[in-house]
């Protein structure tokens, strides 16, 4: 077979696996398979089963909007969330019954999510949005009469939608944030409900356990079934819930709740040990919160001292689960470009690695006797499911969903590069040579800069795999790195950007460009730079302070720290990262904004921004476009309707492809004369 270079349109051929869940009997792994739906310009998610003993995986659902598979304790039923009937609801599917159909467990007015089985399998806890008026109506036991027929149901639905639209016209806001993602926030806060799972002639009703104007986290049962753990904002009247999250224990019998953590940290994602003696959770110190590594904390269920298990390791915890013996936790953490699986014990012994290598482990599940299932990306493959049985040391690849695609395209190997920055720190980066590379020739460079700024990139980065391979396929040497501020190198490294996003990272990045140039294959007259979010900030900062690049593409970037603070859904982010509030030292923040130096940008600058980006509003891109244009620079602004901050990762497939093409054609125009 003749292999072809990767194209922008190949994005639609990649398949991803998500959310692996091992059945309690250890026989099956349920997981979600995500594909691009070219016809509808969207994505499909269906649930599949892989036998732990091997064999071809089986497709379990075909609704196209199915996710969050969760096994019943007896392994006979799978709960999952499906949006097949507009609002997402929880469905139950019996496993092993020929021709079995999934039945809807919930019919919540605003949808349901996050199912969690009770230990005895007789109930499911879940989240559903409901505002104060709706909760009061539930408490009074009021129910709307059943529709007389389909026409009546249709008219009621249209009336509810119209009433909801009118309720927010005009929109009155009273807290921050009031919009996020690509939409405005409503007052339908996620509450915790429990519901019987048994079938009966009269459908059972859900019972609500919470009544707070705050969104609750995923519910987690205690092993005795008496309590549910969750996390939510401590002060419902406050702003920025993610900064002020506390743990709560809720009694299932009557909904009585108890706060478990104090205000010194933002705490979230609690899980109980199998023996019920311990609670593990993630937390962040509230001081300089966004710059800190996430702690893996444990506390006795009965109350007592809280301990952080990963501080000595000096790496942030991502996902975590208890070991079956309740004596420790497995967790993923980023380190030197890789995301690996670690084991931390309660006895205080050193943390050790369980699964390691050049890979990014995204999600995992553990079984008491059978083994560990996990999804991971590698430099050669953006997503597959793996299984490491307890009886073996090596993991087996359970899916081969991208194999056929990879057999038909040319992919480039990733090479590590390390250098010493002017500040003395060792910086890690990677480069890829272009398709068709010939030794002795020089090629244009495409420098990629990550966002965050506290993100870690590596050669197995799933979200960038296709984009980097595409740049290499179009004839560019690809360079990316983790300058100071990145995760994966310790908290001190991560906090080194404080008060100086631009100069510190620019020194590290440009030292890497020089280290690559020293290898002799970069054409220094044909270099381009791009990045998104903080990477967009750095792209604009670099071309405002250097004329070494022939083209630049800044995506969804923060360019005016003063304006950004008043329009983003994370308004305390910049004061945390830089120190002062905007009114305390506006000139300091202005001088650290690329916009203040935009009049010096003479590198042709392409700006990519989404019109519904509520993390970094499009006004950021509009300002930079205007400043560069009016000061005599060469620039173009590409606006993507309907999209938010995640345009290049989860946006409409056609928009993602368009973004790739706009950027590469901009590079080609100024670096290749095309």
- Beta-strand runs (E) in 234-367: 245-251, 257-259, 265-272, 278-285, 295-300, 307-308, 317-322, 328-335, 338-345, 352-355, 360-366
Token pair listed for 576: 């945390």
Rounded CA gap, 544 and 308, in Å? 42
Q: Look-up: residue for tokens 């806001």? A: 173
Contacts of 198 (CB under 8 A, 6+ apart): 122, 204
Q: With beta carbons less than 8 A apart as the criterion, state whether 271 and 435 touch.
A: no
Rounded CA gap, 527 and 549, in Å? 5
Q: With beta carbons less than 8 A apart as the criterion, state whether 614 and 569 touch.
A: yes
Long-range contacts of 109-115 (CB under 8 A, 24+ apart): 109/134, 109/160, 110/188, 111/83, 111/87, 112/81, 112/88, 112/193, 113/68, 113/81, 113/88, 113/190, 114/68, 114/81, 114/218, 114/219, 115/68, 115/70, 115/79, 115/80, 115/81, 115/90
β-strand pairing of 103-104 with 89-94:
antiparallel
Q: Per DSSP, what are the bridge partners of residue 355?
A: 341
Q: With beta carbons less than 8 A apart as the criterion, state whether 219 and 230 touch.
A: yes
Q: How many CB atoms lie within 10 A of CB 193?
A: 24
Rounded CA gap, 386 and 394, in Å? 10
Rounded CA gap, 221 and 249, in Å? 10
- Beta-strand runs (E) in 401-509: 409-410, 414-420, 426-432, 443-449, 477-482
Q: With beta carbons less than 8 A apart as the criterion, state whether 245 and 232 touch.
A: yes
Q: Which are the catalytic amino acids?
A: 533, 645
What is the SS3 string spanning 92-150? EEECCCCCCCCEECCCCCCCCEEEEECCCCCEEEEEEEECHHHHHHHHCCCCCCCCCCH
Rounded CA gap, 202 and 273, in Å? 36
**CA-based diameter of the chain, in Å?**
80
SS3 386: strand
| DSSP letter assigned to residue 439 | T
Q: With beta carbons less than 8 A apart as the criterion, state whether 280 and 264 touch.
A: no
Residue among 39, 86, 81, 44 nearest 62 (CA): 44
Residue 554 Rama label (left phi>0; alpha psi -120 to 50; beta): beta
Q: How far is CA 204 from the centre of its chain?
A: 35
Q: With beta carbons less than 8 A apart as the criterion, state whether 488 and 294 touch.
A: no
């Amino acid at each position: 077979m003749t292999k072809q270079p990767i194209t922008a349109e190949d994005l639609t051929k990649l398949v991803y696996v998500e959310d692996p869940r091992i059945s309690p009997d250890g026989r099956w792994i349920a997981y979600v398979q995500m594909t691009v739906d070219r016809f509808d310009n969207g994505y499909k998610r269906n649930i599949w089963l892989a036998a732990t003993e091997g064999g071809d995986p089986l497709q379990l659902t075909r609704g196209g909007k199915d996710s969050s598979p969760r096994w019943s304790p007896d392994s006979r039923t799978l709960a999952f969330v499906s949006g097949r009937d507009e609002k997402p609801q929880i469905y139950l599917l019996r496993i092993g019954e020929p021709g079995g159909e999934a039945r809807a467990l919930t019919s919540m007015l605003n949808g349901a999510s996050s199912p969690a089985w009770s230990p005895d399998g007789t109930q499911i806890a879940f989240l559903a949005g409901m505002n104060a008026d709706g909760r009061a109506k539930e408490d009074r036991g009021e129910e709307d009469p059943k529709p007389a027929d389909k026409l009546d149901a249709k008219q009621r639905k249209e009336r509810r939608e119209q009433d909801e639209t009118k309720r927010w016209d005009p929109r009155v806001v009273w807290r921050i944030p009031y919009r996020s993602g690509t939409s405005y926030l409503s007052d339908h806060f996620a509450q915790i409900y429990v519901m019987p799972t048994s079938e009966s002639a009269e459908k059972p009703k859900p019972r609500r356990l919470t009544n707070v104007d705050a969104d609750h986290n995923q519910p987690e049962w205690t092993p005795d079934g008496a309590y549910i753990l969750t996390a939510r904002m401590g002060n419902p009247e406050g702003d920025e819930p993610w900064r002020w999250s506390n743990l709560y224990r809720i009694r299932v019998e009557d909904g009585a709740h108890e706060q478990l953590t104090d205000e010194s940290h933002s705490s979230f994602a609690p899980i109980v040990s199998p023996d019920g003696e311990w609670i593990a959770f993630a937390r962040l110190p509230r001081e300089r919160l966004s710059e800190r590594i996430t702690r893996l904390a444990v506390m006795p269920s009965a109350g007592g001292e809280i301990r952080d298990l990963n501080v000595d390791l000096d790496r942030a915890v991502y996902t975590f689960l208890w070991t079956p013996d309740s004596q420790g936790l497995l967790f993923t953490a980023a380190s030197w470009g890789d995301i690996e699986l670690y084991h931390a014990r309660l006895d205080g012994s050193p943390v050790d690695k369980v699964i390691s290598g050049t890979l990014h482990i995204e999600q995992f599940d553990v079984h008491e006797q059978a083994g560990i299932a996990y999804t991971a990306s590698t430099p050669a493959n953006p997503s597959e499911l793996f299984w490491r049985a307890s009886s073996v040391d090596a993991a087996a690849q359970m899916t081969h969903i991208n194999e056929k695609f990879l057999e038909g395209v040319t992919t480039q190997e990733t090479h590590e590069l390390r250098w010493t920055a002017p500040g003395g720190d060792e910086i890690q980066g990677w480069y890829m040579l272009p398709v068709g590379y010939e030794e002795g020739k020089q090629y244009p460079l495409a420098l990629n800069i990550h966002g965050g700024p506290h993100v870690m990139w590596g050669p197995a980065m799933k979200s960038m795999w296709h984009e980097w391979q595409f740049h290499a396929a179009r004839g560019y040497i690809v360079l990316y790195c983790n300058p100071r501020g990145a995760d994966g190198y310790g908290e001190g490294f991560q906090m080194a950007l404080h008060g100086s996003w631009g100069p510190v990272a620019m020194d590290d990045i440009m030292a890497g460009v020089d280290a690559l140039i020293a290898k002799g294959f970069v054409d220094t007259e044909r270099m381009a730079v791009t990045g998104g979010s903080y990477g967009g900030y750095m792209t604009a900062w670099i071309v405002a302070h250097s004329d070494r690049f022939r083209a630049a593409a800044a995506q969804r970037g923060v360019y005016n720290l003063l304006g950004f603070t008043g329009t983003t859904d994370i308004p305390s982010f910049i004061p945390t990262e830089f120190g002062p509030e905007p009114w305390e030292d506006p000139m300091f923040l202005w001088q650290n904004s690329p916009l203040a130096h935009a009049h010096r940008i003479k590198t042709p600058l392409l700006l990519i921004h989404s019109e519904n980006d509520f993390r970094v509003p499009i006004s950021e891109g509009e300002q930079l476009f205007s400043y560069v244009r009016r000061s005599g620079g060469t620039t173009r602004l590409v606006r993507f309707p309907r999209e938010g901050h995640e345009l290049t990762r989860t946006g409409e497939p056609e928009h993602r492809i368009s973004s790739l093409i706009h950027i590469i054609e901009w590079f080609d125009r100024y670096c290749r004369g095309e």
